[in-house]
Structure 1
Amino acid sequence: MTKTEVTILDRLDQEMLEALRFRASAGKRSSARRHKLTMSDFKEIHRDVYRTSPVDAFESREILKCLERLENQGGIRQMEKTDKERLELPMNLWVYSPPPPAEPEVTMPPLHEKMGRVAHEWNRKAKQLTAYVAVNEWLMSDPDPTLIPLCERALEIFGKRKFTTYFSEPEKAFREISFGWLFSDQQYMRDFLDILKSEPPLLTEVYLAKAGKRGYASMDRGDILFVVENYTTCWSMAEALRTMDHGLGHLAWGIGKSFVSSVRSIRPDHGVAAIRYFGDLDASGLAIPIRANAQARAAGLPPVLPAVKLYDALFELGTPLPGKEKPVTRDRAEELAGWLCERHRDRAVELLIKGERLAQEWVGLRHLCMANAWHADVR
């Protein structure tokens, strides 16, 4: 057998190669094509995998055979310097990382008339082609052309289970792609996809120099502090609230986990009599208000309560999708879901133990402007 021939490794050889890769790459740059390993490490792993002993008279011969098999397969390469023994073994060797998995072939679907230019770009990577497929499917569905914010449109386009391989948080998909005729020009993309520009607030929607109100978008109507986990939904709520009566004194962007700490910045002179919260339905999205509620209680503040009607809407409008977070145990899921109102707990537990999530952007600007049920959360 020549060095260029490729062999099929048996179970033990495959186990050996995986162990070599694990040992050689430990604490090193994971993206490197190869890693150096000493012969002493190789021998230790060889004895563990093949159940040999250092006193075995044929150990060096078996190691040479193993080296040849692994090198023929392309998993390792022996370095030239040897130990000068009767059966010479290399002092060191290169252990090659496994080749990246082949990208799945993405078939070009029948194209919407607005997507004709895609046909000339069907040599791109699978993730990029999947983005085109998602947009094409959205156009084919005769979508509502009403302008909505970027994250809400992204969720509408990419919020399907089949796209989560490449877009695990579909509401953030447009942050990950910037190629080709459609996605490289942000203004062109917004016009093409009917996207309404919405920027996160720096500190407040209306920056106030008045002491005691920094960090909030002041509504100057009531005594409720309403906190929203993500800025897009906070922006959409602010837009919808402009034309309705409500009891909010402040609308706050929680900035994800930051709310756990920032809740303690509320002082008596802020006039906050109630705190309501709306966020993603996943493990971290529920842990935030639970921890913030504990901080509020310790500071003598009102409890952090769920926006019940908005969570109603999230369960109704949202599509549960696999998320980045791992499934949690049922006990942990019940602990997290316990913060929600009783009618939401069982469904939340089922989401959490499956490792699925509902992004709060499913409750978007269109719903907030058209529906009335959620008004109870802000009064």
Structure 2
Amino acid sequence: MTAPGARDLAELLRATGRTRIDRAGLWRAFTEALPSAQGSVDARRMLAEAVAELEAEGVLVPSKATDDGTPPLPRSVRLTRPAAAPARPRAVEPWHPEMRGADGLRSPSEVVRQVNRWLFAGGTGAEVVPLRERALEITGDEKAFDAGLPAPLTLAILRAARVALPLHREPVGDGPVLLVVENADTVHSLTRALRAEPGPVGAVAWGAGNAFTSSVLSLVDGPPAAIRYFGDLDAAGLRIPARASALAVADGLPPVRPATGLYRELLEHGRPAPAPTADHSDVDWLDPGLRGPVRELFAAGHRLAQEAVGRRVLAADRGWRAGLDPA
């Protein structure tokens, strides 16, 4: 099997003792089979590929009914082999000395085993390369480590380094806060509004959509005291800062927190547009007072584009400045 996690997923599904498994159970088994997928922006794609491969192998049959995500996932799967049949025991693999931490894992993932085999095959002599290059070399999936390194893997074991894209910043004042904005037009409008009265904001940065989940790490060389973020109110618009915040904290940077006043203005002035049913899991990244309205927005199948908070809204009152302080 070539899809990351597919083999372990099949074994975990069989181990449930059931013949039909709903989507929630499918997700639980997949994140256990491939811990590096948990929280990854590509987790849905990776699960869809694993399901497709297991279907082709005759292991399972996905339901015709699917959800509205991209790519769509079945609402359930039916195992075609006896659910109670015991999984074939794995051959015991010795752990490389650098993988001592794997001894304590109850069920090491296939990615961990792949790294172990790579080390035995001469990986200890490899030169340091960008992490995605190493991920592709070892696993066949360049994004295998985007969501983080599963225990006991480290960058040192992988002989790899995270490559951080540069983050474009426009200085507006001397304050300690960096305001990151998802889209370029809103960067322009906010830069113009803040130059006249920057308050605690020292610079406005262009997050460039999903690129921010990498470029946030470029701040390590000169970290700001606080990072605030403003983006679209849709699934991707919340997933990006939530993932970026986790990476930032792991590298010793301050967390990425929402620019609350700007999001309030977006909820007030935004024009709801149709959107696929959104995953609500990243709504918790927002401040508590915003979570209820945003969940209602998503439940109604809508999204809001941040461009609704344009120059006229920014000039009308000062409420959008709430949440930009460094505290």
Greater Rg by CA: 1
Structure with bigger RCO (C-alpha 8 Å, 6+ apart): 2
Give TM-score, length-normalised by structure 1. Answer: 0.40
Give TM-score, length-normalised by structure 2. Answer: 0.47
